[in-house]
Amino acid sequence: MRLIVGLGNPGARYERTRHNIGFMAVDAIVRRHALGPFRPRFKGEFTEGTIAGSKIMLLKPQTFMNDSGEAVGAAARFFKLDPGEVAVIHDELDLKEGKLRVKRGGGAAGHNGLRSIDALFANDYWRVRIGIGHPGAKELVLHYVLQNFPAEELDWVRPLLDAVAEAAPLLVADDAPGFMSKVALLTRPAASSEAKEGPR
């Protein structure tokens, strides 16, 4: 995968909301792999560099979530990318908090960012779905996704973002199963405890 996109909304107001976990994941990858600073490009914030010997580009659309496809489509056309070379990291209501799944193609499931990318780029790209849980009723969804993560949820958010960044070389190498397995291993409670305690 040559282009990794994180979905979210621009501006300080949305920085720590559930809907912005895609932005957070891309930021974690950039920090972990010491990639260059973001710069304005393709209606988004763009950077590029090398991860595990592979050239990789990262993009955070700045169009607001509902128009994410404008940025993704512009970057993909410029670099002549096939859908299989693009991975989009986004929040997923239908997954339990802290769970991660990767699949290629599929429906938008009510996610306006994915719907825009499907319409303006393609459908058959990779989707890195990060579970944020569901508030329980459809009418609560908008408020829920635009709410900041409460302090107690950061206990799973931070380790998950660290794991995504650590496992990113597997994603870049098109090893989706390996990427999912490593993230799961790094975020299981026993692994967290062992990391804190150190070797015995």
H helices present in the chain, as ranges: 21-32, 68-78, 112-120, 141-145, 154-172, 176-187, 189-197
* Distances from the Cα of 180 to the Cα of 2, 36, 60, 118, 176, angstroms: 18, 26, 22, 23, 6
Catalytic residues: 19
Helix (H), strand (E) at residue 40: strand 39-41
* pLDDT tens digits, one per residue of 45-97: 999 999 989 999 999 999 999 999 999 999 999 999 999 999 999 999 999 99
CATH for the 3-197 domain, from 3.40.50.300, 3.30.70.20, 3.40.50.1470, 3.40.50.360: 3.40.50.1470
* pLDDT tens digits, one per residue of 16-50: 999 999 999 999 999 999 999 999 999 999 999 99
The pTM assigned to this predicted structure is 0.92
CA nearest 47: which of 84, 89, 5? 5
